[in-house]
Every structure is written in C-alpha cells, then in structure tokens.
Amino acid sequence: MPGYVWSAVRDAPVRELFPGIRQRPLWRGDGGASAQVLEMDPDSRWEGIDVHDPGPEEVFVVSGVFNDGHRDYPAGSFIHAPAGSSHVPQTTTGCTLFVFYPEG
C-alpha cells in the first residue's frame, strides 16, 4: 500500500541508552513523531529523570513488568504520559516496551 512503512524489531538497529537498556527505533515520521521498542534487562534503571518534552509519551508494556518510579505496570498495560510529565523508568523483572512519541 502506498505510504505504508514496515519494520521488524529483530532487524532494527540496537542502541544501548544505559546499562541494560536498549532502544530499537522502528519508525520516524514527519514532524518528529517516532515509534521504538525499549528492552530493559532485570534490575535496570534509567539514569536521571526522563522528561516528556516537547510532547507526550505513550507506552505499551509488551512483556515483563515496567515501573515508572511510582508503580508497577504488568504486560498488557498502556500508559499515556502528558507533555511536561516525568518519571524514572526501571524494572526488577525485565520488560519490553513499545514506545510512541506522537509529537517528537
């Protein structure tokens, strides 16, 4: 179909953001919107605070249990973090997340 973009997680380049936390970019659209998979090993933690700027962040927990520094989100959870909000991504079990930034 014209305009469709397809990518496979297994073929996406891997970038280590922090020890035990890997990013796999899947798509980047006009205006900065993007989609990625974030893989977090057990007992990994984001270094510092993740601030959602300039726009919101939307997360779907594919597997494992994700913690934002306040509560646990098991597989199947959806999280919408509005622009300007922040959290400290972490996990004790390990997790895989689908992350979408609709505004960059």
Chain segment 32-67, per-residue pLDDT in tens: 899 999 999 999 999 999 999 889 999 999 999 999
Which residues span the domain enclosing 61? 16-101
- Residue 24, domain CATH: 2.60.120.10
Note whether residue 64 is domain-resident: yes
Per DSSP, the residues of 19-73 read: TTEEEEEEEE-GGG-EEEEEEE-TTEE-SS-EE--SS-EEEEEEEEEEE-SS-EE
Task: Determine if the peptide bond prior to 54 is cis (ω within 30°).
Answer: yes
Domain count, the chain: 1
Question: Is position 27 within any domain?
Answer: yes
Q: What is the pLDDT of residues 6-24, one digit of tens each?
A: 899 999 999 999 999 999 9
CA–CA separation, 93 and 67 (whole Å): 10
Task: With respect to residue 75, please indicate whether it lies within any of the assigned structural domains.
Answer: yes
Query: What is the predicted pLDDT for the residue at 17?
Result: 97
